[in-house]
Chains A and B, each alone.
Chain A
Amino acid sequence: MGFDPLSFLTVFGLSIAAGFIGSLLGLGGGIIVTPVLTTGLGYNIRHVIGASLVSVIATSSGAAAAYVKDRLTNLRIAMFLEMATTLGAIGGAYVSGLLPVRALYVLFGVLLVYSAYGMFQRRHVEGAGRVPESAWARRLRLEGRYHDETSGKTIEYRAGRLGGGFAVMLGAGGLSGVLGIGSGVFKVLGMDMVMGLPIKVSTATSNFMIGVTAAAGAGVHFARGNVHPGIAAPVALGVLVGAWAGSKLLPRLPGRFLRYAFVPLLVYMGLEMIWKGVVP
Chain B
Amino acid sequence: MRAGGSEAASRAGGRPVARVERALWDMETVISRILQLGVLVSAAVIAAGVAVWAITDTGGYPDGRFPTTPAGVLAGVAHLRALAIIQLGLVLLVLTPVFRVGASVLVFARERDRTFTVITSVVFALLLMSLLLGVME
Contact = CB atoms under 8 A, between A and B. Distances in A.
A212 B43 contact: no
A163 interface: no
A220 B130 contact: yes
Interface stretch (A62-70, A122-130, A255-263): A62-70
B104 A79 contact: yes
B127 A227 contact: no
A219 B82 CA distance: 21
A224 interface: yes
B135 A223 contact: yes
Contacts of B109: none
A212 B32 contact: no
Q: Is the interface of B mostly helix, strand, loop or mixed?
A: helix
A227 B39 CA distance: 17
Contact of B57 (A2, A60, A80): A2
Contact of A64 (B32, B82, B123): B32
Contact of B96 (A61, A76, A87, A222): A61
Given A1-B61, A211-B97, A76 B46 contact: no
Contacts of B63: 1
Given A61-B35, A68-B25, A75-B28, A224 B137 contact: yes
B74 interface: no
A76 B116 contact: yes
A218 B61 contact: no
Contacts of B91: 222
Contact of B94 (A57, A62, A79, A83): A57
Contacts of B104: 75, 79
A204 to B, nearest CB: 12
A75 B49 CA distance: 35
Given A65-B29, A215-B127, A229 B96 contact: no
A219 B90 contact: no
A214 interface: yes
A28 to B, nearest CB: 12
Q: Is the interface of A mostly helix, strand, loop or mixed?
A: helix
B119 interface: yes
B80 interface: no
B39 A229 contact: no
A211 B57 contact: no
Contacts of B116: 76, 79, 140
A234 B46 CA distance: 9
Contacts of B28: 68, 73, 75
B101 A64 contact: no
- Which of B25, B38, B126 has the largest count of A CB atoms less than 10 A from its CB? B126
A189 B13 CA distance: 33
Nearest to A65: B32
A5 B54 contact: yes
Nearest to B24: A75
5 contacts: A1-B58, A1-B64, A61-B39, A82-B123, A215-B94
Given A86-B123, A215-B95, 16 more contacts: A1-B62, A64-B35, A79-B101, A87-B126, A89-B130, A90-B126, A217-B130, A218-B130, A219-B131, A219-B132, A219-B133, A219-B134, A223-B68, A228-B66, A229-B83, A236-B42
